[in-house]
Structure formats: structure tokens, C-alpha cells
Amino acid sequence: MSAPETKRDARARRTSPLLLLAIAAGAALLASGASSCGARPPELVAPTAAPAIAPRASIAQDSAPKEEPRLVPAEAWLRTYLQLFGGLAPLDAQARLRGADGAQIFDDWATYASAIGLPDHRFDLPRGTQTNATMLATFERLGEALCARAVEHDLQGPKGGTPPGPPPLEARVIFAFEAPSPGTKLERASFEPRFDVLHRTFLGYPASLAPTDRTGRFLSLYQDVVARHAAKDAPKSRFTPEQAGWSAVCEGLIRHPEFQLY
Amino acid sequence: MDAHGRRTFLQLLAGGSLGALAASQASPVLRALAATTAPVAASAKDDFFVFVHAAGGWDVTLFADPRNEKRGLVDPATTDNTDVRDLRLWVDAPFDGDVKSFQIVQPKGCAIPFGPGIGGLVDHADRICLVNGLAMNTVSHPDGAAYASTGRHLVGGRAPASSVDTMMANELSREQLMPTISLDFPSFYVGDALDRRVVPLRIGQVGTLTRILHRPTFYQTSGDRDAIGKALADEARELAAKADDAEVFEGMALQYEGVRRMLGEKLEEALSPAALKKAYPELDGKAKLHGARALGLSFAAEAMRRNLVRCTSLAFTGFDTHASNYRQQARLQQEMFDLLAAFLQILDRTPHPTRAGEKLADRTHVLVVSDFCRTPQINLAGGRDHYPTGSAVVISPRFKGNFVFGKSDAAQLLPAAARKFQDGTRAIAPPDLLATFVSAFGANPRAYLRDGEVVPELLRA
């Protein structure tokens, strides 16, 4: 037995053909629109050159240093000194620098601590940040000690060492070059490469890039010292004239303003 | 740079030859240095300073504030508690039966009553400005030493202000070859306002300086060193000419020349302990109690004669007599003041290095201070302990001579009101004395001292 048809069923049966017609019309409309979009060419924006910005003023770039050269802190100076001396601990370096030969070339670190600008916190004395004559005199004493001992080690060789004579280049601490044979007069061409080794060791860059005629100045110094030691009335020295000359060059570099300042 | 400042700088820094050298160059560093130099009295530019610290706390009842009677807390020095054998100025005065105290030392014309500890310095009473009853407000050695030399008590164990030798070096000594040498004096450098060149070079003994200047003869000649120094000075000048900031390089060039001068004048020999003893035999290097310290005064005399050091500060030790060693407190004082008297005689006869016709004594100013003084009572160990009163001795052409200012309480030896200050009537204190000292040379005390008031009564008109 079937249920009687309701009014709602009858209304649905009457409107469904209209709905189908509307859907079909919409689909046809969409289809026609899609086919027309796909037919348009893509829109491309052509690149154009940016217009030049008109200069309003012109100033030079200021690349000048704004801070004056500063003194290397005493601790850094000491560390560098020890490194140059072969990387020894301070007390070991002190023992080597003093030596047992009665040279009186070095005392002890405590003697120099205040003069080289180390702070003394017991008395609230700050680190020295400017050089003074006493400080430079102390650097001279310390520099002379380092260079004299380096000449003994590198250019003379240890006493009783085997084989006798200077150590090989790779074992030298400062003078890592072949020294000219005694009596050889060094000209600029033969001095320059050797000086360059020392210059790079102490000042960290090639001598040819120095802002002054450093090679010429130090060649003059070398020749001056060699001549003084080679003179007949020269005072007795533990160095040959050439060794004294190289020692003087070494001192000049370890006391150089560029070694003390940064 | 004004001509005056530039000339001063050249003369002081490097001597005649260097002066001529630098004078030929319009040096920016010279201009800069002159610009940073604080204005001081022009007449003080050739003056020298010697600061002495009697370390440990001296007994003022034996010399500056003499007490020879039992009054209140005061137990005076007597033959019972004091070794009087070597005290030249001790003359017995009645005390208690066989026990004697001393007679006040006051030569004819002397306005200051002294005790026998004053020793030979009594002969120079006409140039002594004595300050008594200084309110030290401390009985701690480090604090008292710092307060006496800086005018400030320690803060957290640290000195919050610079010491007087640093102050004077900053005013007058920036360009000196050696601005200030401190032989164990309580020297402090505090703050960023002072020139870094005047950081005191603290050394334990004179020999340290000569060791720094010693050059061995086994390797290089003096000619070699001079050639190296010249090459470096030339190098520094050339770097200065090419540098954006030439001052540092120019300063180094002058300092290289200064080192050449130091070595050329053989300062190592002249300032060696042996040479100083020989040059100044009257400063008895073999004195029993202060022999080693006599060298400090010899060094000061020689360094001033050569115009090397503007401010020399030194300490005499051994005054901390808590126990039976108090018996020699008077001798300690006598020896120290004998040495100072001998030092003054040296200054009297030594020509000033830059002022023709003048002697060093005309331009040298001496200030002697201590941590504090010692208790008026003798303790059970036969000594005296710490007490918050102080005295100071000023010997200076700018201070009144034969003059005493300030006082202590008669019965308790505590500081007594000296005058009316801006903050009321009170005793004089170290900041007042230091402010007066600094101002005497045209410097502004407020640039260095937080406290203190100038006491014009101490100064010559």
C-alpha cells in the first residue's frame, strides 16, 4: 500500500525541471566566460631604467682614523716579548735572559713591572697608557737583552753544541736567515731580504710596505754599527761586527713605534 | 702654543739641544701639550717637591706637640719608657722622683715648642710651618696613610682620590723627563681627569731606577745605542709627518731623545747608590735606623740638581711602635729629622738647575706627614697604639716659617678646634692642609680634592 502524496512532494515534483534548467544555463555561462579569459594574452610589464637621482651635494668619504695610535697594553707587550723569545714561561725566560755569564743584561721582571706600565692594583695604580722616557729606557734595556741573547742563540750557536755553529734556520727564534760571512759588506740588495725577515717578525708586514724608507734607514744603522765594531780602536765585544749590526737592527725594531703602538 | 709654554716644555723635557731641535719644528704635539696644561702660577714652573711619609704613625708628643707632664690621659715620655742615650736634645726635666721627662726644646727666637725628637731640624725652625691637631679620624694604617696623602678616606679599601704628589705632578710636571718617582710613598693615581704621564713610578728602592738605566758593555757600545736612538727618533718624526694624528709619534720622538740624554749623561752612574752616598755624605747612609732611606733624599737632591724629577716622594718606616720598641721612637724621629735637616742644607748650597742665581732651597717644597699619631697612654707592652690625631711639617718658601697652626686637647691629645671653617668651627684636617698646599702653587684645589678648605693663615702673604 502506497502513502498518499503530500503537498510538499507535489511542489517538488512541479519545480525540479525549472531548477535543472537554471543550473544548465549557469554552467553554459561559466563555460563561455572561461573560454574568453584563456584567450587573452598574458600581461607583461616591460622593465624600464630607473631615473637618475639628481645629486644634491658631494662630500668625500672620511676614512681617516678617529682614534690616535694607542700604546699596546703592557700585558700584551710582555706576551709578545716572551713569544719572540721562544715562547718560554716568564721565569724560564728570565733565567735565560739573565744567563750565567755575568753580562748583567737583565735583572728580573719585578724590576721592570712598574716602568713598562703594568698596573699595580695594590696601590690602585692603573695601566700605563702613554709612553714616557723612563718607559722607553726600560724597553731599550729589555730589547737589548732579547736581541743579544737571540744573536747568541741564532747567529753564534750554543757553546759546545753539536754540530758547532749556528742552528738551522727552522730552529732560530729571530734571525731566520743566513747571515753573510764575516767581513762581507752588505749592500741594500743583500740587506733587504734579511731585514724583511726581521721586519715581518717584529712588525708583521713586509718592509717594502713601510710608510718610511725603513730599509734604507736600518741599512745605515747596520753599516754604522758594523763600522764602529770593525774599527781598530773598537771596544771589546762578545759580538763580531756583523753580529753587533744585526743586534742593533733587532733592537731598533723591537723598540720601534709601530711595535709599541697599535 | 704660546711661546712661554712651548719654551718651558722644551727646556724641561729634553734639555738644550733637544729644545733647539724641536723649536725648529712647528710641532702639533707641543701645541697640544700646552693646551692641556692647566694654568698654574708662572712662578711655580721651576719648583720641586719632596713628600715624606713617616710610615706607621709617629708620636707627636715627642716632637711636634710635646708633652712632658702627666695630664689627663697623657703619659709623657720619661726615662722609664724612652731610651734617651742618643737623644741629643733630651734634657732632663723633673717628673717623678728619679724618673725624668724632657725639657721643651725651644731655642731663642723659635716660636714653636718642640720635643727632643725634632733633632737637627730645630735649626731650621725659621722655615718650619707646623700643623698640629690634624683630625685624622682613623686609626687604620692604610686609611691614615691614604687620608694624609689624598685627603680622602679609603672607600671599600681603595683610595678614591689621587695623592698630593700626583696632583702636583699633574700641575707642574707633565713634561718632565721623570714626572714623579715614589719610593714607597702612599702614591695614588685615581680617575680619568689627570694626565697619564704623571702616573707615579713606584719603586721600592733607588737601585731599581739605576738597574733600568744600566747598559752592559759586553755587546754594544754607547755609540751603538745612540745610533739606534737617533734612528728611532728620526723614524718617529717621519711617521708623525705622515700620520693623521701626529701627536703620539712626535711625543715618542722626543722621548727617544730623552732616553739618549739619560744615557748620555750617564745617569745610571750618577744615580747609583754608591755615587749618591759619595756625593752626599751628610745624608748618612749608614744611619742606624734610616740609613737605607737616606738614599731616597740623596736621590731627590741629585734628581733635582739635574732637573730630572719634579716630585720625589718617599717613606721612612718603623714608627709603628706598639711594644717596647717604643723606646726608640724618639731616636727614629731624631734620625729622620736629622736627615731632613741635612737635606735642607744641601738645598741651601745647590744652585737651581734653571734659575740663575737661585738655590734649590728657594724653589723646593717639603711636606712631611704620617698615618696618625700614637696614644697618649703607654700600654701594658710598653708602647703606644694608634690615635686619631696628626701633625704635619711643611718646609716651603710659600708657607710661613717659625709658625704653628692648630692644636690638640691638653688632656686627651685629641684634635681641638683651630678656627672657623665654612662648615663651622672645627679642627684642621688633611684635606684642608692639602688644599692649602695645592693652592699655594696656583692650582685649583677643587680640581683634585672633594673636601678641604684653603687656610690662608699658613701661607706667606
Range of the domain at A222: 74-260
Provide the 3-class DSSP secondary structure of residue B401: coil
Check B201 against A115: CB less than 8 A apart: yes
A97 burial (CB, 10 Å; 0-12 / 13-18 / 19+) is: buried
Instruction: Please tell me the predicted confidence (pLDDT) of residue B27.
Output: 42
Instruction: Please tell me the predicted confidence (pLDDT) of residue A166.
Output: 87
Position B93, amino acid: A
Check B235 against A138: CB less than 8 A apart: no
Contact criterion met (CB below 8 Å) for B379 and B372 = no
Check A114 against B203: CB less than 8 A apart: yes
* pLDDT digit string (tens) for chain B, length 461 residues: 333 343 344 344 433 333 333 333 334 443 333 333 344 556 788 999 999 999 999 999 999 999 999 999 999 999 999 999 999 999 999 999 999 999 999 999 999 999 999 999 999 999 999 999 999 999 999 999 999 999 999 999 889 999 999 999 999 888 778 888 999 899 998 887 888 778 888 887 888 888 898 898 889 999 999 999 999 999 999 999 998 888 889 989 988 998 998 888 888 888 999 999 999 999 977 777 888 889 999 999 999 999 989 999 999 999 999 999 999 999 999 999 999 999 999 999 999 999 999 999 999 999 999 999 999 999 999 999 999 999 999 999 999 999 999 999 999 999 999 999 999 999 999 999 999 999 999 999 999 999 999 999 999 98
Residues of B in contact with A237 (CB under 8 A): 218-221
**pLDDT, tens digit, 9 for 90 and up, residues B148-185:** 999 999 999 889 999 999 999 999 888 778 888 999 89
Instruction: Answer whether residue A51 is part of any domain.
Output: no
Residues of A in contact with B259 (CB under 8 A): 133, 136-137, 140
Contact criterion met (CB below 8 Å) for B388 and B414 = yes
Contact criterion met (CB below 8 Å) for B222 and B263 = yes
Instruction: Please tell me the predicted confidence (pLDDT) of residue A75.
Output: 95
Check B219 against A244: CB less than 8 A apart: yes
To the nearest 10 degrees (0 to 180), the angle between helices B3-23 and B28-36 is 150
Q: Could you check whether the bond before residue A163 is cis, i.e. omega within 30 degrees of 0?
A: yes
Provide the 3-class DSSP secondary structure of residue B37: coil
CA dihedral A89, A95, A97, A100 (to 10 degrees): -160
Which chain A residue's Cα is nearest to B228? A252
Check A130 against B196: CB less than 8 A apart: yes
- C-alpha–C-alpha distance, residues B410 and A62, integer Å: 72
Provide the 3-class DSSP secondary structure of residue B355: coil
Q: How far is CA A81 from CA A127, A256, B356, in A?
A: 18, 13, 46
Region label for B30, one of left (φ > 0), alpha (ψ between -120 and 50) or beta (otherwise)? alpha
Check A221 against B202: CB less than 8 A apart: no
Which chain A residue's Cα is nearest to B207? A111
Instruction: Answer whether residue A14 is part of any domain.
Output: no
Which chain B residue's Cα is nearest to A225? B224
Instruction: Please tell me the predicted confidence (pLDDT) of residue A10.
Output: 58
- C-alpha–C-alpha distance, residues B294 and A32, integer Å: 119
C-alpha cell at B359: 738655590
SS3 content of chain A, % helix, strand, coil (to 5): 50, 0, 45
Strands B99-102 and B373-374: unpaired
Contact criterion met (CB below 8 Å) for B100 and B79 = yes
Instruction: Answer whether residue A38 is part of any domain.
Output: no
Instruction: Please tell me the predicted confidence (pLDDT) of residue A235.
Output: 87
Which chain B residue's Cα is nearest to A235? B221
Of the candidates B309, B307, B277, the one whose C-alpha atom is nearest the C-alpha of residue B292 is B277
Check A123 against B188: CB less than 8 A apart: yes
- For chain A, how many structural domains are there in total? 1
Instruction: Answer whether residue A60 is part of any domain.
Output: no
Nearest Cα of chain A lies from the Cα of B314 at a distance, in angstroms, of 15
Nearest Cα of chain A lies from the Cα of B431 at a distance, in angstroms, of 20
Residues of chain A with pLDDT under 50: 1-2
Instruction: Please tell me the predicted confidence (pLDDT) of residue B15.
Output: 37
Instruction: Please tell me the predicted confidence (pLDDT) of residue B387.
Output: 98
Of the candidates B414, B375, B412, B382, the one whose C-alpha atom is nearest the C-alpha of residue B57 is B375
Q: Which helix (H) or strand (E) holds A13?
A: helix A7-37
Q: Write out the CATH class of domain B48-211+265-458.
A: alpha beta
A-B Cβ pairs (cutoff 8 Å, strict) = 169
